[in-house]
Structures are given as C-alpha cells and as structure tokens.
Amino acid sequence: MSEVVRRLRDDVATEPKAAPLKVAVLLPCYNEEAAIADVVAGFRAVLPGADIYVYDNNSIDRTVARAVEAGAIVRSETRQGKGNVVRRMLADVEADVYLMADGDLTYDPLAAPLLIDRLVSCQLDMVVATREGEGMLARRGHAAGNRIFNRMLAMLFGAGLTDILSGYRVVSRRFAKSFPSASRGFEIETELSVHALDLRLAVAETPVRYGNRPENSASKLSTFRDGFRILWTIAMMYRALKPFKFYGAIAAAFAGASVMLGAPVVVEFIETGLVPRLPTAVLAASVMQLAVLSFVCGLIVEAVADGRREAKRLRYLELKSA
C-alpha cells in the first residue's frame, strides 16, 4: 500500500461523523382540543428526537393547554389564517428538516419517518404525502375540488404533483428559508406547490392514509369560500410567474374582438369606398390598442418575473443543504 493511499485511508477513518439532522414538526392549530394531544403523542412516538411545535391561531378552546400537557413547544400567531401561521413557523423555527401536518388527527404520524427518509436519502426539497383512504371518501366535495385544482395547476405550471392541497409534507431547510410566502389562509398549500414547480425544485410524492376527524372536531375549511380563494391564488400566481402567457392571452382576446368589430367596416370600405360606420371603426381601433398594450405589458412583466425568479433561486442556493 502506497503512502498516499495509507494517508487517505487514515483521513477517512478519523473524519468526524456528521451531526444528526435536526427535525422540526410544525402543527398549525385552531380549536383542535379534541385531537392535538393525540397528534403530538403520535409524532413524539415515531420521531423521539424531533422538536414538536404547536402554533395556536387564536383558539377559544383548550387547544393550548392540551398541547402543553402533551409536551409540545407552544407558540402563537394572532393573525388569523393557516397561511399566516405557516409563514410564521417557517420564519421562526430553525431546523434541517421541517415536517408540516395538521392538528386534527387526519394525517398518519407513522408515515413521518418514511417521508423524512425519502427527502434526505434522495436529496429532495419537498416530499408531499398524497392522501388516500376513508378520509378522502368522506369529503367528496373537497376531493372533487382537489382533482380540479390539480389538473389546473398541471396545465398552467407543468405536471409534477397530484395532491397540491395536502397539508402533510416535508421540506428541506433550503426550501423553508427561501419560500416567499404571501398567503393568508388555506391557499398556502397551493403556494408551496407552485413555488416548487416554478423553481423546478426536486420534489416527490408518497401515498399516505388519510383518516377522519374525531367526532367532536369540526373542519375549518369551507368548500366554496376557500375553493374560490384557492382559484384566485392560482390565477394571481399565474399572472405573477407566467406574465407573458397571462397578458398574451388577454392581448389575443382583445385582438380577436377588434378583428370581429372591424371586419364589417373593412369589407364595406372595400365594396363601397366609404366608411359609414365611424363609431365602430373607432371602437375596433381602440380595442386593438388595448391588445397591443397588453402584449407589451406582458413582455415587460415577463422580464421582471425572470429577475424575481433568479433572485429566489440565488437565495435558495445561498442556503447550505442538509
């Protein structure tokens, strides 16, 4: 054995082992007295070394007391809405791996080690737990809306995720600290998914059993109100992240309307040499001006969006990978 090989072998043998990853379990809660203690106990059993945080969002029941009794680290966010809570959690908590779940006992804690192992071993930025089981069957309205939003997101931002509204997911520190959250409510899961797709981050999905809530626990999600907010969020994120396509579609609509308005005027002018429909001609020209303005606006905002995307990418790369 050569001296060089011997020295290399000795260096590897004496190299210090990497410190274990610091895992944080993040549980946003609003009036989850009936379930939060069992949720904390479940994650404590499968992730004994993790820090379990319960962020209370102005609960009026005994959620805080039950979480403290279960041994969780309890903090609060006074601005109402799940999006506000998630933004605060990701900003305040320091960890290598962040596991997010709900405090309503619908997500299976037994799947947590599998999700974390896949994130770390495959060097991913996010692993989403796709929901299966009786919980989804019992919420047919939510399940139908989820399918519609999944297809819409795939069409607008590209395929990659099949359950964008799942609240059970694991993200890396890089993802958590570079995520520019702006949502206030249940649209936060949509924002997380779009962020990953827009930056082309490494993501994966793992099927997980989705159960029913305890009998004395009520869902905070409104099918129609929150569904409309999610739809609006998708539209606004498409405008911000794909502005040329967004404004280009508006420009095409205005151009088509202008052609439809102006075609009869042009035909009549060719046939008679006169322009008897002056108001219609002026309206067609005005609509075409709107089409041109929309097209130019799309070009300008596209350049701005590219700059913002590059800034987010650089911020992501600044953070050390676990």
pLDDT of residue 269: 67
Distance CA 306, CA 81 (A): 30
Assess whether 258 and 235 both reside in one domain: no
164 and 274 share a domain? Answer: no
Cα distance between residue 243 and residue 91, in whole Å: 28
Query: Is 172 in the same domain as 268?
Result: no
Instruction: From 179, 20, 201, select the one nearest 123 (Cα to Cα).
Output: 201
The pLDDT, as a whole number, for residue 322 is 66
Closest among 94, 87, 24 to 54, alpha carbons compared: 24
Q: Which two tokens stand for residue 162?
A: 């099949």
- For residues 214 and 312, membership in a common domain is answered with no
Residue 211 pLDDT grade (very low, low, confident, very high; cuts 50, 70, 90): confident
pLDDT in tens, 163-172: 888 999 999 9
Contact at 8 Å (CB) between 37 and 70? yes
CATH code of the domain covering residue 214: 3.90.550.10
| Rounded alpha-carbon distances, angstroms, from residue 247 to 190, 196, 199, 296, 297 | 22, 23, 21, 9, 7
Quick one: pLDDT band at residue 182, thresholds 50, 70, 90? confident
C-alpha span between 172 and 179 (Å, rounded)? 11
Pair 213, 110: CB distance under 8 Å:
no
Tell whether 25 and 126 lie within a shared domain.
yes
Structure tokens at 225: 């109100």
Query: How many Å apart are CA 296 and CA 104, to the nearest integer?
Result: 48
Give helix 243-272 / helix 278-318 axis angle, nearest 10°: 160
Cα angle 305, 194, 94 (rounded to 5 degrees) comes to 100
Mean pLDDT of 171-195: 90
DSSP designation for 281: H
Q: H/E element holding 41? A: helix 36-46
Please give the DSSP secondary-structure letter assigned to residue 107.
B
Q: Is residue 5 part of a domain?
A: no
Structural domain containing residue 298: 243-318
Question: pTM for the whole thing?
Answer: 0.82
Which residue, 196, 225, 241, sits at the end of a domain?
Answer: 241
Q: pLDDT averaged over the chain?
A: 85
pLDDT at 12 over 50: no
150 and 267 belong to one structural domain: no
Which H or E run contains 149?
A: helix 140-157
Residue 50 lies in a domain: yes
Q: Tell whether 198 and 126 lie within a shared domain.
A: yes
**Structure token pair of residue 278:** 């002056």
pLDDT in tens, 105-128: 899 999 999 999 999 999 999 999
Question: Both 160 and 66 in a single domain?
Answer: yes
pLDDT range class, residue 8, cuts 50, 70, 90: very low
Pick 223 or 77 by higher pLDDT: 77
Same domain (yes/no): 49, 185: yes
Q: Are strands 169-172 and 97-100 parallel, antiparallel or unpaired?
A: antiparallel
Give the pLDDT band (50/70/90) at residue 276.
Answer: low
Nearest CA among 127, 170, 125, 169 for reference residue 322: 125
Q: How many domains does the chain have?
A: 2
CA 176 to each of CA 83, 169, 198, 220: distance values in angstroms, whole numbers, following the listed order = 14, 12, 15, 25
Kindly state whether residue 274 falls inside one of the protein's structural domains. yes
For residue 15, pLDDT over 60 is answered with no
The reply to whether 269 and 149 lie within a common domain is no
In tens, the pLDDT along 43-69 reads 999 999 999 999 999 999 899 999 999
Q: Which two tokens stand for residue 291?
A: 């089409």
**Contact call for residues 180 and 195 (beta carbons, < 8 A):** yes
Question: Within this chain, do residues 139 and 288 fall inside the same structural domain, yes or no?
Answer: no
- Do 181 and 252 belong together in one domain? no
Q: Of 222, 241, 260, at which residue does a domain stop?
A: 241
In a domain, 8, yes or no: no
For residue 7, is it within any domain?
A: no
Q: What is the pLDDT of residues 213-267, one digit of tens each?
A: 777 767 777 777 878 888 888 899 899 999 999 999 999 999 998 888 877 776 7
